[in-house]
Amino acid sequence: MKILIKNIKQLVQTEDDPKIKVVGKDMKNISCIADAWLAIEDDKIAGYGKMNDWEGITDWSDLTVIDASDKMVMPCYCDSHTHIVYSGNREGEFVDRINGLTYEQIFERGGGILNSAKKLNDASEDELIESALKRLNEIMLQGTGAVEIKSGYGLSVEAELKMLRVIKKLKTLSPLTIKATFLGAHALPNEYKNKKSEYIKLLITEIMPIIAKEQLADYCDVFCEQNYFTKEETIEILTAAKNHGMTPKVHAEQLSNYGGVLAGVEVGAISVDHLEFVGAKEIEALLNSITMPTILPGAAFFLSLPNPPARQMIDAGLPLAIASDYNPGSSPSGNMNFMISLCCIQYKMTPEEAINAATINSAYAMDLSKTHGSIAIGKYANVFITKEIPSYAFIPYSFGSNLIDQVIINGIIIESK
């Protein structure tokens, strides 16, 4: 199958010499070609260039031609942090927060993550697959081409494995590229109140060996936060996870400055995520690391948290990624267009910085930047075609609008149902 997209007003984020991440002041640059063509062969990008440098196509058989006059073509977003497998919603807690309760107070009275865990334990694998597939379809039509999905609403041996097996099934059912993360250390279940070390032992000695045997997870994550898991516990869990073949990630510095970033850097995490309470010490540690700082603007917006210091991090020379954190409690949206808008409007990131953060850098945060996250020959043909818009800055500018016309995933044109 071959696709030629021609007359593209602007082909955004082309890379002749692909990089695995974009760092510091380089995040301000995005290479674009005006009046361009893009050729796709099977599932990969086969070529691109300017219309007036047209190299021609010799074999016109089985070729689909798309005219993208007045439209942009961009690489699909990579969403490196979601909790897209869940049962039921939590709009009741949303209303409770409007009426004055905090996220922490809701958790303390048995809501929050524990509320989702109750619902998930009662749900069948089929129900979870069906609802997650709807959400995956929703984000795909909003331009996402690769996504990470976490467990963490199970909080028992059976339910955590159920979540991870659902994610494994989703890999075969969805056209999206999916990475799986074990987040058994998301919260302490009620049965283990005052017995945290026993719960950690359960994660390490009972669940991790099965995950390794069945290859159920690429990553392991810990919610490092007051009332959840300490820095030392985070290091203990993630060190064990590495021994079981999982790469570390951390929910870090979301509600307080609690040591999550330092724990992540110490164990060689591929990303540390949230970062509202990051300070100079964490920035310094990240500068000498392989760890991708990742901000989740949907959760900060939805929970009215302080802004993460995105500008300071980029200006200090760090790379930055953006993900949606799509989940029922702190970010019930996986719309990466809106995440980009939030970064531009609230954190003063430029559209170029935000797009780099939501594509190549978030691809890095799930080990996909060699195959996803930019327009480069040989990378997967994961691209979207916008509606007629004047520039790519129009995407963050028109927050809340749907500006995506067509999505192509691995060379297949996705029909919106």
**Contact residues: Fe ion, CB under 5 A:** 325
Site string for ligand NIG, 186-225 (x = CB under 6 A): -------------------------------------x--
> Which parts of 275-355 are beta strand (E)?
292-295, 321-322
Note whether 87 binds ligand NIG by CB under 6 A: no
Token couple for 303: 């929970």
Q: How far apart are CA 22 and CA 30, in angstroms?
A: 10
In this complex, which beta carbon is closest to Fe ion, that of residue 236 or of residue 325? 325
In this complex, which beta carbon is closest to ligand NIG, that of residue 6 or of residue 97? 97
Note whether 299 binds ligand NIG by CB under 6 A: yes
Q: Are 26 and 317 spatial neighbours (Cβ–Cβ below 8 Å)? A: no
Task: Output the smallest distance, CB 374 to ligand NIG, in A.
Answer: 26
Task: Report the candidate in 181, 191, 117 with the shortest Cα–Cα distance to residue 150.
Answer: 181
Instruction: State the binding partner of 322 from ligand NIG, Fe ion, none, CB within 5 to 8 A by kind.
Output: none
Task: Output the smallest distance, CB 298 to ligand NIG, in A.
Answer: 9
Note whether 79 binds ligand NIG by CB under 6 A: no
Q: How far apart are CA 254 and CA 305, in angstroms?
A: 8
In this complex, which beta carbon is closest to Fe ion, that of residue 276 or of residue 325? 325
In this complex, which beta carbon is closest to Fe ion, that of residue 282 or of residue 325? 325
For the packed helices 280-287 and 260-267, what is the interaxial angle rounded to 10 degrees? 10
Q: Are 258 and 226 spatial neighbours (Cβ–Cβ below 8 Å)? A: yes
| Residues 301-330, interacting with ligand NIG (CB under 6 A) | 325, 327-330
Cα radius of gyration rounded to whole Å, the chain: 21
Q: Which one of 6-14, 109-117, 190-198, 309-317 is the stretch in contact with ligand NIG (CB under 6 A)?
A: 109-117
Task: Output the smallest distance, CB 44 to Fe ion, in A.
Answer: 32
Token couple for 381: 């043909």
Element (H, E) at 98: helix 91-98
Task: Output the smallest distance, CB 218 to ligand NIG, in A.
Answer: 18
Please provide residue 384's backbone torsions phi and psi, each rounded to the nearest 5 degrees: -125, 150
Task: Output the smallest distance, CB 149 to ligand NIG, in A.
Answer: 12
- In the chain the first and final C-alpha atoms are separated, in Å, by 22
Q: Are 385 and 378 spatial neighbours (Cβ–Cβ below 8 Å)? A: no
Element (H, E) at 108: helix 103-108
Q: Are 275 and 216 spatial neighbours (Cβ–Cβ below 8 Å)? A: no
Task: Output the smallest distance, CB 260 to Fe ion, in A.
Answer: 12
Residue count (the chain): 417
Name the DSSP class of 415.
P
Note whether 116 binds ligand NIG by CB under 6 A: yes
Q: How far apart are CA 292 and CA 331, in angstroms?
A: 21
Task: Output the smallest distance, CB 124 to ligand NIG, in A.
Answer: 20
Q: Are 216 and 168 spatial neighbours (Cβ–Cβ below 8 Å)? A: yes
Note whether 113 binds ligand NIG by CB under 6 A: yes
In this complex, which beta carbon is closest to ligand NIG, that of residue 143 or of residue 328? 328
Instruction: State the binding partner of 356 from ligand NIG, Fe ion, none, CB within 5 to 8 A by kind.
Output: none
Instruction: State the binding partner of 330 from ligand NIG, Fe ion, none, CB within 5 to 8 A by kind.
Output: ligand NIG
Residues touching ligand NIG, count (CB under 6 A): 12
Task: Output the smallest distance, CB 91 to ligand NIG, in A.
Answer: 13
Binding positions for ligand NIG, rule: CB under 6 A: 112-113, 116, 223, 251, 254, 299, 325, 327-330
